[in-house]
Amino acid sequence: MALSPTQVQNFLDADPAIDVQISGVKGSSPREVGAWMLVSAHDVIGTIGGGQLEYMMTDEARKMLRNGQSSKHLDVPLGPEIGQCCGGHVRINLAVAASEMILQRSEAERFAQPDILIFGAGHVGKALARALSLLPVNPILIDQRESELPSIKGVEKRLSPLPEAELRDAKPGSAIVVLTHDHALDFLIAGEALSLGHFSYVGMIGSKTKRATFKSWLREAYDGDVDAGKLICPIGVQKGTDKRPEIIAAFVVAEIMQTLDQMGQLVANHTGGGMVDAR
């Protein structure tokens, strides 16, 4: 999940900080160009990939704070010399954190994240919203029932008497997940999403039988002009027999994130080609 402007502002208000950013990558690295973190004398937010690289850069940033140094540029090989096995090479820029610039960066990253519109705040919808709130996407939970919309940190909530109308202003490339309390409403929303044709993922909760019924409905409702082939239903198709909302949500999240990654919708560049080292 990208750092929110509020998180950044609160961090910068607390203590002076150093902005640590990956500016260049050769070969494999824990994170991509542009990955960043903020380091104060006592705290860190964000990440450049964990492991020895992050430990070393945290130490360098705190030396800068102690010595009153304003900027530094380091070239770091990611090999046995530092106890990291990525095998690549990174360039790191460290500079005294400029509040306005970093807030703009944070806002731009959050805006660039894909929206995930979740239609239906039932058990699975809530579980899905909570799981997505931890990831670099913008989950939006939509329902007609005010009493069902929960307070979940990092999740936008919309009370809408006509949920399908929310699709018309949705960003192209957004992911759409349909799991309301009403099959007819599910069909209406899924049909509208498919007819617009510019979403990266359109999924509807249900069985193969529900999918077949929807295909017949879609053919009649849109005179055969809209293809049901792009609909994912059932969703989270790799899931096992466990029907708990949190388990279903986990499989659906994996399915959505894989689709977004394949379509290049995620914020990260993946320039380094390596996995994040969480050691």
Q: Which pLDDT score, from 0 to 100, does residue 277 have?
A: 39
Per the domain annotation, does 275 fall within a domain? no
Sheet containing strand 175-178, strands side by side: 156-159, 138-143, 115-119, 175-178, 201-204, 231-232
Per the domain annotation, does 102 fall within a domain? yes
Per the domain annotation, does 279 fall within a domain? no
Q: Which pLDDT score, from 0 to 100, does residue 276 have?
A: 38
202 and 79 belong to one structural domain: no
74 and 188 belong to one structural domain: no
Q: Residue range 91-104: average pLDDT?
A: 94
Residue 244 has, within 13 A of its CA and on its CB side, a CA count of 4
Q: Which pLDDT score, from 0 to 100, does residue 70 have?
A: 96
207: CATH: 3.40.50.720
197 and 82 belong to one structural domain: no
Closest CA to 36 of 24, 25, 48, 26: 48
The answer, yes or no, to whether residue 266 has pLDDT greater than 90, is: no
Q: Which pLDDT score, from 0 to 100, does residue 57 have?
A: 95
> What are the structure tokens assigned to 52, written together?
């020895």
The answer, yes or no, to whether residue 1 has pLDDT greater than 70, is: no
Per the domain annotation, does 277 fall within a domain? no
75 and 165 belong to one structural domain: no
Q: d(Cα 128, Cα 150) in Å, to the nearest integer?
A: 12
146 and 241 belong to one structural domain: yes
* DSSP state string for 95-123: EE--HHHHHHHHHHHHHHSPEEEEE--SH
> What are the structure tokens assigned to 114, written together?
């894909």
- With a pLDDT cut of 90, the percent of the chain lying above it is 72
Q: Residue range 110-139: average pLDDT?
A: 94
Each residue of 22-67: pLDDT tens digit? 999 998 888 899 999 999 999 999 999 878 889 999 999 999 999 9
97 and 119 belong to one structural domain: no
Domain count, the chain: 2
**Whole domain around residue 241: which residue ranges?**
113-262
Domain end, chosen from 109, 132, 162, is at 109
CB 186 within 8 A of CB 205: yes
117 and 35 belong to one structural domain: no
126 and 257 belong to one structural domain: yes
Q: d(Cα 250, Cα 128) in Å, to the nearest integer?
A: 7
Per the domain annotation, does 30 fall within a domain? yes
Each residue of 157-204: pLDDT tens digit? 999 999 999 999 999 999 999 999 999 999 999 999 999 999 999 999
170 and 222 belong to one structural domain: yes
Per the domain annotation, does 187 fall within a domain? yes
Q: Which residue has the tokens 């931890």?
A: 134
131 and 248 belong to one structural domain: yes
105 and 164 belong to one structural domain: no
